[in-house]
A and B are shown apart, each in its own frame.
Chain A
Amino acid sequence: MAQKNNHTTLQETNLDNIAGDILRPVGLNIKFHAWMGFLTLTLLACLYAYWIQFNEGLIVTGLRDYVSWGMYLASFVFFVAASLIGMLISGVLGLLGQDWIKPIARIAEIIAVAFAAVAGLVIVSDMGRPERLPYVFMYGRIQSPILWDVTVVTTYLVISLLLWFIPLLPDLAIAKTRMHHAPKWLSTVYNFLSLKWTHHPDQYKILFRTTRILLILVIPTAFAIHTVTSWLFAVNPRAGWDSTIFGPYFLTGAFVAGAAGLILAMYFFSKNYKLSSYITADHFNKMGKLLLLTAIVYLYFNINEFLVPGYKLKTADAIHLKELFTGHYAWLFWTVQLGGLVIPILLLLFKPMRKPLPLTIIALVVFIGSWFKRYLIVIPTMEHPYLPKQFVPAEWIVYEPTLIETAITIGPLIMVLMIITILSKLFPVVPIWEMAGMGEDETNDHKKAE
């Protein structure tokens, strides 16, 4: 494996081989066009749904005065959650000196960038007056958690974008002369974006120093984005949200969703881009362990979140929990809790389940379960206000998402896929220079200096 070649002198043939492997899928082929065409058509359909909502008002959704936040908010929480994987991989594991993350760190950043970039749009789709979005900046009140959320999500997006781009610089310089099969403009773009990178040791020193600062910054920022997102709910005096552990509860849940998302992407790239000698079975095994660890921590917070109010059964909490455990949401709740959390934990304890294919299947279930988990956090609480719901039309009592609402919810997901496709198809997804061991002397110097 490439990253094991510590302290070996840089061999041009080695670099050629690695660059050849990693750059082979880069470029615009017929598959890319077909896939992007499909995504564009789907997105247009979703945008048409949004156009209807924009004209008719949110009446076209299942939202009404009691359940005034629904699928859009659940989806927003999910998007912010999924974007946190960038911080967990590059930030936490990277700073801990876990070198095995090198080939997958960039994929994690791509996921982070894609989900963080679109999360804001999900919120705009929920707004009754989207054209007044600038008011948030013009008349913003610092007391409102929405202001905190806007601030930290934007910050996180910028840091994640830099954490994707800066380590890409050496690769752009390597790739610009080797893109024989790609269109010429792509080489020009690479040349421009590589910012005159010459692989000079001083450049690597700057790169390491910058990345290190960003990695340190990204940890509190990522904690902040999901903690603040949880506070959008926890600051409201409602049963099911009125919880002091909502911050860590959301944060650990985010790591589960993000780790699952990363495993899905890893599987796709290792198979489709034929990168299995870089994204190896060992990486899947380690990611399986990471998913297991995060899921266990999340389970711990789930137990806290349900057992403690369930023990006391205060009136409003009792109604809420009954609805989840045995009521209207019971089937969804138990499917998500058991199928999306408990059973994956049990399976992941066994090594064969952490092989690429079984792990990917488990990750897919966990990933979908994570979305529905957010649905269960947002909606049942809104359906049970303190005062009775009376003298309103029957459809106001229980929330049922509409088709238009579903299409508008799918739209941002399509955009995420588009961003991931573009970033992974036009640029190398695995860092070539790190695989080839370039700049390692500078890293070691830097580490000694620390």
Chain B
Amino acid sequence: MSDESSNKVPNNQNTNSRKSRRDFLKSIGYTGAAIAAGGAAIYTGYRYEHAKGKSGMVTVLTNDNRLVQVPIDQIHEFKPDPHALQKRGRQGLEGRRWVMVIDLAKCRNARKCVEACQSAHHLRPHEYHINTLIMQDAPNTAPYYMPKPCQHCDNPPCVSVCPVDATFKRQDGIVLIDNERCIGCRFCMAACPYSARMFHWQEPVLAQEYETSFTEYDVELNTPQRKGTISKCLFSADRLRENEMPYCVTACPNSVFYFGDENEDAVTNGTTKETVRLSQLLKQNAGYRLMPELGTQPRVYYLPPKNRLFDAPDKELTGNHSTQTT
């Protein structure tokens, strides 16, 4: 519905060029509905056919909370405006300061966070936004597992060095990467002391699917991924916009992750859904940040691996250079 979509993305009809683009899409939508398949409107056609069997009308909830009925043949697919996606992606969620707390005592390297992240962001098994590392701080201290996402630094070295504003810091604290802007110089990778960034050395794993089914680039999900550009942990900015917690946080079976808003001083455990005070959690457990001496001011906090629930990894088995080729 034109009303509905323009409410969702207000600047959709701001200019003539966008308007004509909308008209164009609209006409494609009609054609797709009519012939049930074809070109970019295959999905629309599918939805139409699917709904046609049930009734000639469909009930729709509008933005102002009214239930209305609409003839199905009047429906056309909502297609996000790429400019609007870029704009909201670069602004971030107003009034939020996202923060993550990782409880090292609970991690047993299940790697569910890694898998959920890779599946959401279309990555290969060795392409990481979040990786779980085996850490040993000193020869006589016990090793422990450490999930390592991007630290979303408040003083991010990667953002400083980027020559084209491809990687940027949002008002809600998230550091994102725009792979439509990235020139692939990899200065940000050199600058990141946490090795948090990855580069698409080859075509992304879903490159062929991207070719057949066109998806608009969403900077908050960083898909479709692109060869020759940087990718990185996004704190699942797309999930946060939907009021959901990040993929890794909800995928963890061992209640390792807390996620929340620093402004609210509250973080919620992704497994137990228990919400606690951020300041108290950090104070009571002596929370810390990685390499604070570098002055990067990370937004990811760690709780020390005290009273670990799981056995320390066998050093013989894991070593420092474990590999997992796929």
Task: Say whether A394 contacts B323, CB under 8 Å.
Answer: yes
B238 to chain A, nearest CB (A): 23
Task: Say whether A236 contacts B229, CB under 8 Å.
Answer: no
A358 at the B interface (CB under 8 A)? no
B202 — which chain A residues lie within 8 A by C-beta? 56-57, 59
Interface contacts (Cβ under 8 Å), in number, total 153
**B-contacting residues, A130-147, CB 8 Å:** 130, 132-133, 135-136, 138-141, 143-147
Given known contacts A135-B181, A141-B163, A147-B163, A391 and B322 CB-to-CB distance under 8 angstroms: yes
Given known contacts A140-B164, A237-B294, A390-B320, A66 and B195 CB-to-CB distance under 8 angstroms: yes
Render B165-198 as a binary contact track against A, CB cut-off 8 A, 1 for contact: 1000000000000000111111101110111011
A382 to B195, CA, bound (A): 10
Task: Say whether A146 contacts B126, CB under 8 Å.
Answer: no
B288 at the A interface (CB under 8 A)? no
B157 at the A interface (CB under 8 A)? yes
By DSSP majority rule, is chain B's interface helix, strand, loop, or mixed?
loop
Given known contacts A390-B134, A391-B126, A135 and B164 CB-to-CB distance under 8 angstroms: yes
Task: Say whether B322 contacts A144, CB under 8 Å.
Answer: no
- Using CB atoms, name the residue of chain B closest to A381: B190
A235 at the B interface (CB under 8 A)? yes
Given known contacts A69-B190, A140-B164, A390 and B185 CB-to-CB distance under 8 angstroms: no
Task: Pick from B182, B195, B201, B229 the residue with the most CB of A within 10 Å.
Answer: B201
> What is the total number of residues of chain A having a CB less than 8 Å from a CB of chain B?
49
Given known contacts A68-B190, A390-B133, A235 and B181 CB-to-CB distance under 8 angstroms: no
Given known contacts A58-B199, A388-B134, A388-B135, A144 and B126 CB-to-CB distance under 8 angstroms: no
A68 — which chain B residues lie within 8 A by C-beta? 186, 189-190, 199
**A-contacting residues, B187-230, CB 8 Å:** 187, 189-191, 193-195, 197-203, 227-229
Render A354-396 as a binary contact track against B, CB cut-off 8 A, 1 for contact: 0000000000000000000000000000100111111111101
A417 at the B interface (CB under 8 A)? no
Task: Say whether A139 contacts B323, CB under 8 Å.
Answer: no
Given known contacts A59-B201, A68-B199, A393 and B126 CB-to-CB distance under 8 angstroms: yes
B198 — which chain A residues lie within 8 A by C-beta? 65
B322 to chain A, nearest CB (A): 5
B325 at the A interface (CB under 8 A)? yes
A138 to B323, CA, bound (A): 41
Task: Say whether A140 contacts B163, CB under 8 Å.
Answer: yes
Task: Say whether A69 contacts B191, CB under 8 Å.
Answer: no
A147 to B296, CA, bound (A): 23
- Using CB atoms, name the residue of chain A closest to B183: A132
B160 — which chain A residues lie within 8 A by C-beta? 143-144, 235
Cβ-neighbour of B163 out of A126, A144, A233 (below 8 A): A144
A289 at the B interface (CB under 8 A)? no
Task: Say whether A391 contacts B195, CB under 8 Å.
Answer: no
Interchain residue pairs with CB less than 8 A apart (9):
A128-B200, A128-B227, A136-B183, A143-B160, A386-B195, A387-B148, A388-B320, A389-B320, A390-B134
Sample of 19 further A-B pairs with CB below 8 A, known A129-B183, A144-B161, A391-B132: A64-B201, A127-B184, A128-B182, A128-B199, A132-B164, A133-B183, A138-B164, A144-B164, A236-B191, A238-B193, A386-B193, A388-B133, A389-B320, A390-B131, A390-B318, A391-B128, A391-B131, A391-B323, A394-B323
